Amino acid sequence: MLIELISETLIQLDIEAKSPEEAIRQAAYPLVQEGMIEERYVDGIIKALNNFGPYFVLLPHVALPHTRAEEGAVKNAIGISTLKNPVNFGNESNDPVKYLFTLSATENGSHLAALASLAELFEDESFFKLLENAKSSKEIMEYIKKNERSGK
């Protein structure tokens, strides 16, 4: 379940960043704090970004920073961060990035069902409206919980 991979402490609203690197480091910070990823995992994402470009900007305004499990993914988890000011990542079709879903995906495949729920959320306009307007992490948790329960 998606809800099992997210927690209020992994959600941050209106973070401030001026560059993709800054945005990724800030978005990943709670996952490091909570022991979901090692710090080198974040360095791995930045390195891959510099080598390959913004390969994880997957839909308009949304980035899913992640890298290979062996680079320091400890537990399956998803962090959600919204940016106060959108940042261009260099992905023509989907820039500017407003929302970062930092993904810690271990070799253990238990996050696969959660990703299916996430894919549904990505098609849900009211979810993005909520991200835009939410005043607290709790609102976002509640929304995800409600949606997943209703099997929407």
Partner 1 sequence: MYKALVACRAGMGSSILLKIKVDQVIRENNFPIETEHGNLDSLIGYNGDLIVTMEDLTEELSGKVKYAVGIRNIVDKVEIKHKLEEYLESIK
Q: Determine whether 61 is an active site residue.
A: no
Q: Which of 66, 76, 89, 105 is catalytic?
A: 66
Please report how close the Cβ of residue 16 comes to partner 1 at its closest, in angstroms. 25
Q: Is 53 in the site for partner 1 (CB under 8 A)?
A: yes
Residues 97, 89: contact at Cβ < 8 Å?
Answer: yes
CB 65 within 8 A of CB 31: no
By CB under 8 A, tell whether 69 contacts partner 1. Answer: yes
Should residue 58 be labelled a site residue for partner 1 when binding is judged by CB under 8 A?
A: yes
Task: Report the residue number, 40 or 84, with the smaller CB distance to partner 1.
Answer: 40
Handedness of CA 106, 79, 101, 115 (dihedral sign): positive
Closest separation in Å from C-beta 7 to partner 1: 19
Of 64, 103, 79, 104, nearest to 27 by C-alpha is 79
Report if residue 119 touches partner 1, rule: CB under 8 A. yes
CA distance 2 to 68: 20
Q: Are 55 and 93 in contact (CB under 8 A)?
A: no
The residue among 66 and 98 lying less far from partner 1, judged by its C-beta, is 66
Strand partners, 101: 80
Annotated catalytic sites, by residue? 66
Q: Which residues bind partner 1 (CB under 8 A)?
A: 48, 52-56, 58-60, 64, 66-69, 91, 93-94, 103, 105-107, 109, 111-112, 115-116, 118-119, 122-123
